[in-house]
A and B are shown apart, each in its own frame.
Chain A
Amino acid sequence: MPENFPQDLAWLILLLPLVAAIAITLFTRRFPRLSAQLSITAVVLAFLASFSLFLLMQEPLKIASHAEATALSWLSIGDLKVELGLRIDALSLLMLLIVTGVGGAIHIYSAGYMKDDPGYARYFACLSLFTFSMLGIVLANNLVMMFIFWELVGVSSYLLIGFWFAKPSAADAAKKAFLTNRLGDFGFILGIILVWATLGSVGFDELQMRLGKAPEAWAGVAALAGLLIFCGAMGKSAQFPLHVWLPDAMEGPTPVSALIHAATMVAAGVYMLCRMFFLFGTHSVWPASLGFLNGITALDLIAWIGGLTALMAALMAVQQNDIKRILAYSTLSQLGYMVMAVGLSGPDAAMYHLATHAFFKALLFLGAGSVIYACHHEQDIWRMGGLKKKMPVTYWTFLIGTLALCGVPPFSGFYSKDEILAVASRHSVLLFILATAVAVLTTFYMFRLFFVAFLGKERSENAAHAHESPKVMTWPLVVLAVPTIFAGFWGIQAFVGHALHPQEAVHSGNFLETLFAPFSHAPLAALMGLGAVLFGFSAASSLYANTEKDPLPNMLGGLSRAMRDRFYFDEIYSGLITITHEAASKLANWLDRWVIAGLGVRGVHGSTEILGRALRLVQSGNLQTYAFLFVAGLVLVLLYALN
């Protein structure tokens, strides 16, 4: 095997979806089935290649922490050197498997779900473009390249969320998503510039080397740079306060929601934080204008923002009635967990949860899609019910996904959530309590969803006539259920931990040890986690096991309404935007029309005209006036000459 084979394989993985996207856009728009086949083939091949790469790299990664693929110089002007190169290490291998694996399942699922849509070919082109962009983020070996693909992911998601662009709400949702992401990118690029200006490079390898030499200039800007870079993650992973786009993004087709908002795009923010984890240190010095933050590190801020997002989103999920929205808020909440884990210096726990979350959340979304499809595009859970007998595969896989999400052993979610709780318990009591509370709420709203949508009596005509979805849609569910159940035993955390904390020893025992590991390593966290699940489940079953309508609004009154209305964030934001931007633009427009164009340009025009009219008075047409002026001038000249 030639020496560069892994690197070439990595390039192949990256470029396959791009080739599919270009081919579909240019050539096969009129052949929907061919387009779908192209796209699916590309991503499945990419998955197989990723898996081979994973196997190939097991040995080399034990020696060197990473491998780099040949880089092309993209832009090279003076100190600004941006290259397009690929970095293969444990982190990127894990993400490759997730993106191509889950992505592949979703591609196949979409072939069935979107069958009757007139924009079928366009859908797959956008999906392939998205996959390409996401793989670019995963494989990037420098900050600017990551930013480039970051933006490309943003535009692909814009195209996918706004897929049904004729629908005003979808068009608005797409616009909102892109702009909110852009706002996050505002901070991101300022952070990149700060890092480049202080450390002189944008490549991850270079940066790690230079940080190792501990330049003193870095200490002054480290915290600020960290926070700014986190802004990008805030936008992409929908952390507070940039979370408002994620629920609206459910306007896209359900497979898109599964891909983008469960498994991949939102995970990009967490992935980026883990990638950049080496930049975040214990620096807590801020520049003068932000002096009130002295003593708090960027990681502290990240942890709290993550925790707050988790709590807030869980509260909002408790009172939503649209199945996709519940799952969307659940995603927000779990992302909050991951971000909090990074902030608590547990990036390996965050990546672990990212991986398991990708599996079970995608499963849940696809299951929801199956339910929606079966109930003729009904999305309100209070119009479903009694689906257990009618849709057994969907029912059981959804149950598995729910149990994993709530953190019930021995499903994968239990282990990954426990790691996060363990990290929290080690670092911050407050956040540990908050995380546990969120676990309670998670179990509560997920089982609320489950009881209302799947159990009980049918609540509408559509539910009564539901039947199981076609095989092309149920097979991916089964495929995804496998890692949902077993991913806890695959040693994901050890795999990633080795890359992130090369100094720490890696402990991975046999099956039984792994099964009970949480109880032996961090018993408090595990017990509290289990307790939270039991508490939430009992609350949910007592309220929702057999109800016709939701009892919570009566119990909680105004709070319930606030939760359902998402704590009025959207309204506050549009108010703020009206006050600042609209005001600024009105002012600028006024300035432009009345001062610059009015006073300035027309003023010049007007004064020239007035001057002209004044001078015109000299032209009286009277011959004698002219003669007088001649003589006067002559006299003046004579006086001057004779003096």
Chain B
Amino acid sequence: MSALLVHGYEVVIGFETHAQLSTQSKIFSRASTAFGAEPNTQACAVDLALPGTLPVMNKGAVERAIQLGLALGSHIAERSIFARKNYFYPDLPKGYQISQFEIPVVQGGVVSFFMEEGKATVHKTVRLVRAHLEEDAGKSLHEDFIAQTGIDLNRAGTPLLEIVTEPDMRSSAEAVAYAKELHKIVTWIGICDGNMQEGSFRCDANVSVRKPGAPLGTRREIKNLNSFKFMQQAIDYEVRWQIEQIEDGHAIQQATVLFNPDTGETRAMRTKEDAADYRYFPDPDLPPLVIGRDWVERVRSEMAELPRVMAERFVTQYGLPEYDATQLTQSKAMAAYFEATAKACGQAKLASNWIMGDVSRRLNSGEVAFETLPVSAAQLAALIGRINDNTISNNAARQVFDALWSEGGANVDDATADATRVDAIIDAKGLKQMNDSGELEKIIDEVLAANPKNVEEFKAGNAKALNGLVGPIMKASKGKANPAQVNELLLKKLG
């Protein structure tokens, strides 16, 4: 594999992702985790670290850790320990974070995905070191007060899974592709709502550079990347900055940096002296977490088919190319929509084309989600059926699709009703293709007679001259001619 070098340097990236778990209550208290509440209205005594309070573990958080471990093929520790990470910060009420240090709940695992590298589609595997449970800190609001910061502890105690990779990534694009795949997995299995704007999925990128073959360079950590777009920008900037520093003869100092989306630059945070000495020790308020094999097996049996497994199934079961299969398994809803359509019309590749094309285009404009599509799978299947049986052309199908989409109100319960809707629109708009070859031949003969020059040019070897004939034929047929049929007949007549 040829390395993707930047100015002769190899880029080495590892990720730490904090995924907020979709539990109702916090990891160690019974306050709500709902987003957007008034400040400190969801911070109970335990969350505020009032004297005498103690942590009690949320089963839902553990269950989600097990689900993640199973999804990534990790080892789920039978016995893991909670440890205190000690440091002072106003949004950390206890002055320590309850996390896991020496023995995390999830160990190892991989995230694999496809990505474009140059002109090729490459399969990548990023190894996980571990994933562990810990609590989120509160929020600091700097803008609202003069010379002061307001602390909101609603978020303090929200359960997190910190997912740590080996430094396996070699480009910013790969890092983003990894992050997107991980995002897909955690939302697919339902352990995290994936809302990056609300801070549900936050990535820290550890970035270093080195000459190929050299030992690992000193890394800097870019914190709190919560958009894929900024992720790539930030890493690219950081890489260029590090290379410039090295080329200018400066050594890279280990640092934590923040990305400024307005300037596009990364900047080292004020050094937190002694920040590295967290004085980890096992939390004496929490006995070891024991996860029996029975529990793991039960969770395994209840888990939905994972996206990668489903994608492989789409390849074998429906004969789809890997690229299509990966695209269609972006989300559970999309995959379900595809399968319903494909099963109903029996044309998996056509279904895939329509979903990745026309449907996705409209989705990307952001107004609807798969769960609320105006065109039901049954309708799309019926439409594809009519293309397939030559009732309408592709162009005409688009018009039908547009009509269905703007009508909305897909009757998801009555598949038959949906299919007849398609036919009704075809009739109403008079979109039926002309399939009667007799009538078509008449039109072709007329056009051929009226365009002798094109005929001559074509016979002389200019294949493009055919286009000059197709146009008038389609026009004369009022768009109803089947283009494939037109081509076939034309070629027959012209020899």
A binds B: no
B residues contacting A by CB (< 8 A) are none
